[in-house]
């Protein structure tokens, strides 16, 4: 079982930046993928970005060039640096952990959602 502690989120203006952080603890496997998903009102949850334990990354087209996912810190921590935020980025953002190497579907471990609201 893996626990995910999430920090970040908030209300910002369009064009501003925000950084989310997710710290994993528990039974963490060496080979894993951590990612960020988001869900806007009335929409399905969608992948934003993911990163493997080897450092490989995968981004949704709508955030390429604006968002950066990375690993770092003393703990198993993943960050999502969000730049040039747009109103359409408004959503609840979720951290996810998956054992293995797959970018394309989430694992069963989810962090608490954090609201990101971008105003114009």
Query: Taking a C-beta distance cutoff of 8 angstroms, is the pair 93, 48 a contact?
Result: yes
Residue 73 predicted with pLDDT over 90? no
pLDDT at 66: 98
How much is the average pLDDT of 51-61? 94
Distance CA 42, CA 67 (A): 23
Q: What is the mean pLDDT of the chain?
A: 95
pLDDT at 74: 56
Tokens for 97, please give them: 């952990």
Percent of residues, the chain, with pLDDT higher than 70: 98
Q: What DSSP element (H or E) covers 54?
A: none
Tokens for 95, please give them: 């951290």
């Amino acid at each position: 079982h893996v626990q995910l502690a999430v920090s970040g989120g908030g209300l910002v203006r369009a064009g501003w930046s925000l950084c989310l952080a997710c710290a994993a603890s528990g039974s963490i496997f060496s080979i894993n993928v951590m990612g960020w998903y988001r869900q806007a009102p009335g929409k399905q949850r969608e992948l934003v970005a993911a990163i493997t334990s080897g450092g490989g990354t995968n981004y949704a087209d709508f955030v390429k060039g604006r968002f950066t996912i990375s690993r770092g810190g003393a703990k198993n921590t993943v960050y999502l640096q969000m730049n040039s935020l747009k109103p359409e980025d408004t959503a609840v953002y979720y951290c996810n952990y998956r054992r293995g190497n797959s970018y394309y579907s989430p694992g069963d471990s989810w962090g608490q959602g954090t609201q990101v609201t971008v105003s114009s």
